[in-house]
Structure 1
Amino acid sequence: MKIGFDNDKYLQMQSQHIRERIDQFDNKLYLEFGGKLFDDFHASRVLPGFQPDSKLRMLKQLSEQAEIIIVISAEDIDKNKMRGDLGITYDMDVLRLRSAFQEQGLFTSSVVITKYSGQESARLFQIRLEKLGIPVYRHYLIPGYPTNVPSIVSEDGYGKNDYIRTSKPLVVVTAPGPGSGKMAVCLSQLYHEHQRGVCAGYAKFETFPIWNIPLKHPVNLAYEAATADLNDINMIDPFHLEAYGKTTVNYNRDVEIFPVLNAMFQRIYGESPYKSPTDMGVNMAGNCICDDEACKEASCQEIIRRYYDSLRRQLFGECPDSEVFKVEMLMNQAGITIHNRSVVDAALSREAETNAPAAALLLDDGRMVTGKTSKLLGACASLLLNALKELAGIDHEVHVISPSAIEPIQALKTRYLGSKNPRLHTDEVLIALSVSAATDPNASLALQQLPKLKGCQAHTSVMVGSVDMKQFRKLGIQATFEAVQERKSLYPAKN
């Protein structure tokens, strides 16, 4: 993978910039953290070289000054809202996040339940957290939020929220996902701190859109594709342009809410510390792009991946047609089609040759590997074995797993475990390969190639089961799937 982002420069520059922002206020800064804090895989895909845990590593440099508050909406608890990338509910992710932060030596002081209006599920979650010794605060629904500023910034608005006790100069406010109420928590705290004579500050840390690269740069377009379900739109920050005569990029929700935020700041402080939404941000990522072309190419691939993901969810009724149309529009703006993803044509050509589902994978050195469906293996499992043999320099006619070893596994699946699909999935193939590696040098050599698959691009000509999808993800393979059910399939592709 060609590196396009200087991660070491980013860690140094970002932590220093946040320290400077803390100093601008009364040694108290509430920093709203958007996006994923320690598993930002989107950023690592569109900015090759960006490490998924970069934000966490940056915060660790500030650990003496920082504490973390985790925010969750009572409405999301009540709806059992899920994190699509992890397959867990938001309330479970709160516990996961807290544990992960503490393992890294970061002080996680409390959890805030927002939009609370007596939901029983939220009350029970609070009891559960308190039994674990975790301080919990409640913030309530405020009539007229966010436009009725006089009511919001008053004893009957923010004044009714619990005051969150903090002890560090930097308070990082994060959440399992969007819409949790992070900004409202920060602003409520500004109000309460001001009531206590502390002139605390607010800043926002969003990696995307990147404010100091062009509006239609593929990196920014990839962000729009990633948030197509939220209908976010990148736009020029008109307030920054008017105040400074400089063109910067922000997104519609921040631009639309800025006049309201400005009014809130004025009501709390007497004057606003910011002249634009861009002023509120502290993101330094744009200054750390070291190979623009590498980032453009990676981002174009991400847009196509998002397009295929929208098609998949549309197939199962999980997203509206408008989301697919939006990502198609973004592909047009980037000047790309699905054919800019070479594994797509390779997989579809292989399917045409074999008249059965097929898959293709592009290795880092440009070699293309394909896999076909057989009586023993599904297309994904076949692709995985072929790729490992290609990387190991093993002739494709050589069996690294004996067919006689595969057949007992098929018998176990169909006769005893009730599966109707006899073909091996990718996880089953890897287990069989690891067993073979104990006695077969070729199998051992093939198994050692697994780390080299990380970052490779792949595509399948039909939808595949969740097992193969998860296995690709665990191996770091960036895969797409045609939104087509396998014809005459013995089992539904979604299972």
Structure 2
Amino acid sequence: MKIGFDNDKYLQMQSAHIKERISQFDNKLYLEFGGKLFDDYHASRVLPGFQPDSKLRMLDKLSDQAEIIIVISAEDIERNKIRGDLGITYDSDVLRLMNIYRDRGLYVGSVVITKYSNQESASLFKARLEKMGIRVYCHYLIAGYPTNIPVIVSENGYGKNDYIETSRPLVVVTAPGPGSGKMAVCLSQLYHELERGIRAGYAKFETFPIWNIPLKHPVNLAYEAATADLNDVNMIDPFHLEAYGETTVNYNRDVEIFPVLNAIFQRIYGESPYKSPTDMGVNMAGNCICDDEACREASKQEILRRYYESLRRLLLGQCSDNEVYTIEMLMNQAGVTIHDRKVVDAALEYEKITNGPAAAIELHDGRIIKGKTSKLLGATAAMLLNALKDLAGIEHSCHVISPEAIEPIQTLKTKYLGNKNPRLHTDEVLIALSVSAASNPLAKKALEQLPNLAGCQAHTSVMVSSVDIKQLKRLSIQATYEAKYEKRD
């Protein structure tokens, strides 16, 4: 995988820029973190070289100055909102995030429950946190929010929210997901800090869209594809263009809300510290692209992956036609078709040859390895095993998994677990390979190649099981799936 992003430069520049922003105010900055604070796999895919935990590593450099506030909406607690990528509720994720941050040596100051109106589930969660010794603050619904500025910036608006006690210059405000109220928490704190004689600042940290690369750059188009379900649209920041005569990129929601934010800033401070949404941002990612062509190519592949994911979701009834149409339009803008994804044609051609479901994976040196469906293995499992053999220099005709490792798994599936299909999934093949590795040096050699599959592209000619999808993700294989079932029913 060709590196296109200088991660070390990014960590250095980003932490220095945030320190500089803190100094522009009374040594107090509320930094709203959009997106994921860690495990940012989208960024690592479109900016090859970006480490998924880069934001956390950047905060590690500021750990003595930073504290974290985690925000959750009472409405999300009440309706048991689920994180789609993890399958856990937002309130459970608050505890998970807290443990991860603390394990990294970061200070988590408190939890804020927004839109609180004594909802039963929210009150129980609040009590649970307090029993664990965690400070909890409540913010309330404000009539006319976000446009009734005189009420919002008053004792009956921000004034009725709890003041969050903080002790460090940099306060990072994050949440389990969007719509939690991070920005409102930051602005409420500006009001309360000024009441206490401190002119605190606000800034926003969003990795995408990248403000200082072209609007239609594939990296920014890939962000639109990733948020197609939210109807986010990248656009030129008109406020920045008017103020500085400089073309920068932002996205529609920030541009639309800026006049309101500007009015709130003026109401709190008497004047606004920012002339545009771009001014509010602190992201330095655009300055750390070291190979533009590598990032362009990686982003085009991401758009194609998002396209296939939308087709899959459409087949399952999880999205509308509009989401697919939006990504098709982005493919046109990026100048790509499905044939630009080599593994797609390879898998579909192999399906015709074998007259059954097939899979293909592209190794880092450009070799394409295929797998077909057999009585023993599913196409995805066969592809995975063939790729490991190829990387280990083992002949494909050579059996690296012993029958003694396979038979017990098949017996368990068909005799005890009620499965009609004895074929092994990817996880079962890896277990069988691991068992064989204890006595077979070739199996051990093949197993040791697993890390070399990370970042490889793959495609299957049919939809695969959730088990296979999850396993490919764990191996960091960037896979897509044809939106059709293996059987007509």
TM normalised by structure 1 equals 0.97
Structure 2 counterpart of 1:301:
301
What does residue range 177-326 of structure 1 map to in structure 2 within 5 Å?
A: 177-326=177-326
TM-fit CA distance, 1:124: 1.4
TM-fit CA distance, 1:466: 1.0
What does residue range 34-433 of structure 1 map to in structure 2 within 5 Å?
A: 34-433=34-433
* Cα separation, 2, equivalents of 1:246 and 1:341: 36
Task: Please tell me the residue identity of whatever aligns with 1:288.
Answer: C
* Cα separation, 1, equivalents of 2:316 and 2:117: 33
TM-fit CA distance, 1:151: 1.0
Per mean C-alpha deviation after superposition, the further-off stretch among 412-421 and 42-51 is 412-421
- Classify 1:277/1:63 alpha carbon distance in 2 versus 1 (closer, same or farther; 3 Å): same
* Cα separation, 1, equivalents of 2:465 and 2:18: 44
Structure 1 counterpart of 2:2:
2
* Cα separation, 2, equivalents of 1:123 and 1:295: 46
Deviation per CA, 1:14-40: give whole Å up to 9, x if none.
000000000000000000001111111
Deviation per CA, 1:59-112: give whole Å up to 9, x if none.
010001000001111122222222222222211111111100000000001111
Deviation per CA, 1:361-416: give whole Å up to 9, x if none.
00000000011111111111111100000100000000011345323311111101
- For the 8 Å contact 2:116–2:140, the answer to whether it is kept is yes
Deviation per CA, 1:433-491: give whole Å up to 9, x if none.
000001101100000000000000111111111111111011110111111111167xx
* Cα separation, 2, equivalents of 1:81 and 1:48: 32
TM-fit CA distance, 1:351: 1.0
Structure 1 counterpart of 2:475:
475
TM-fit CA distance, 1:3: 0.1
* Cα separation, 1, equivalents of 2:461 and 2:295: 27
Deviation per CA, 1:92-146: give whole Å up to 9, x if none.
1111111000000000011111122232221111122112111111111112111
Per mean C-alpha deviation after superposition, the further-off stretch among 171-180 and 23-32 is 171-180
TM-fit CA distance, 1:161: 1.0
- For the 8 Å contact 2:116–2:139, the answer to whether it is kept is yes
* Cα separation, 2, equivalents of 1:476 and 1:152: 46
Q: Percent identity?
A: 80
Per mean C-alpha deviation after superposition, the further-off stretch among 218-227 and 403-412 is 403-412
* Cα separation, 2, equivalents of 1:388 and 1:286: 36
TM-fit CA distance, 1:419: 2.1
* Cα separation, 1, equivalents of 2:118 and 2:85: 29
Per mean C-alpha deviation after superposition, the further-off stretch among 315-324 and 401-410 is 401-410
Structure 1 counterpart of 2:14:
14
Per mean C-alpha deviation after superposition, the further-off stretch among 285-294 and 338-347 is 338-347
Task: Please tell me the residue identity of whatever aligns with 1:301.
Answer: Q
TM-fit CA distance, 1:306: 0.7
* Cα separation, 1, equivalents of 2:248 and 2:184: 25
Report the 3-state secondary structure (helix = DSSP H, G, I; strand = E; otherwise coil) of the residue aligned with 2:480: strand
* Cα separation, 1, equivalents of 2:24 and 2:31: 13
TM-fit CA distance, 1:294: 0.2
Kindly indicate whether residue 438 of structure 2 is the aligned counterpart of residue 438 of structure 1: yes
* Cα separation, 2, equivalents of 1:257 and 1:150: 17
Task: Please tell me the residue identity of whatever aligns with 2:241.
Answer: L
TM-fit CA distance, 1:12: 0.3
- For the 8 Å contact 2:405–2:435, the answer to whether it is kept is no
Task: Please tell me the residue identity of whatever aligns with 2:155.
Answer: E
Per mean C-alpha deviation after superposition, the further-off stretch among 76-85 and 406-415 is 76-85
Per mean C-alpha deviation after superposition, the further-off stretch among 135-144 and 480-489 is 480-489
Task: Please tell me the residue identity of whatever aligns with 2:138.
Answer: R
Deviation per CA, 1:158-195: give whole Å up to 9, x if none.
11111111000000000111111110110010011111
Task: Please tell me the residue identity of whatever aligns with 1:108.
Answer: V
Report the 3-state secondary structure (helix = DSSP H, G, I; strand = E; otherwise coil) of the residue aligned with 2:139: strand
Per mean C-alpha deviation after superposition, the further-off stretch among 49-58 and 128-137 is 128-137
Task: Please tell me the residue identity of whatever aligns with 1:272.
Answer: S
Deviation per CA, 1:237-266: give whole Å up to 9, x if none.
000000000000000000000000000000
Gap regions ≥5 residues in structure 1:
490-495
Per mean C-alpha deviation after superposition, the further-off stretch among 316-325 and 96-105 is 316-325
* Cα separation, 1, equivalents of 2:76 and 2:365: 44
Task: Please tell me the residue identity of whatever aligns with 1:482.
Answer: E
* Cα separation, 1, equivalents of 2:481 and 2:115: 38
Task: Please tell me the residue identity of whatever aligns with 2:17.
Answer: H
Report the 3-state secondary structure (helix = DSSP H, G, I; strand = E; otherwise coil) of the residue aligned with 1:198: coil
Task: Please tell me the residue identity of whatever aligns with 1:148.
Answer: N
Task: Please tell me the residue identity of whatever aligns with 2:410.
Answer: Q
Report the 3-state secondary structure (helix = DSSP H, G, I; strand = E; otherwise coil) of the residue aligned with 2:399: coil
TM normalised by structure 2 equals 0.99
Gap regions ≥5 residues in structure 2:
none
Task: Please tell me the residue identity of whatever aligns with 2:192.
Answer: H
* Cα separation, 2, equivalents of 1:171 and 1:388: 46
CA RMSD of aligned residues (A): 1.0
Task: Please tell me the residue identity of whatever aligns with 2:24.
Answer: Q
* Cα separation, 1, equivalents of 2:352 and 2:407: 27
* Cα separation, 2, equivalents of 1:113 and 1:436: 52
Runs of 4 or more consecutive aligned structure 1 residues displaced over 6 Å after TM superposition: none
TM-fit CA distance, 1:421: 2.5
Deviation per CA, 1:322-352: give whole Å up to 9, x if none.
1111111111111111111111111111111
* Cα separation, 2, equivalents of 1:117 and 1:218: 44
Count of residue pairs brought into register by the alignment: 489
* Cα separation, 2, equivalents of 1:114 and 1:484: 42
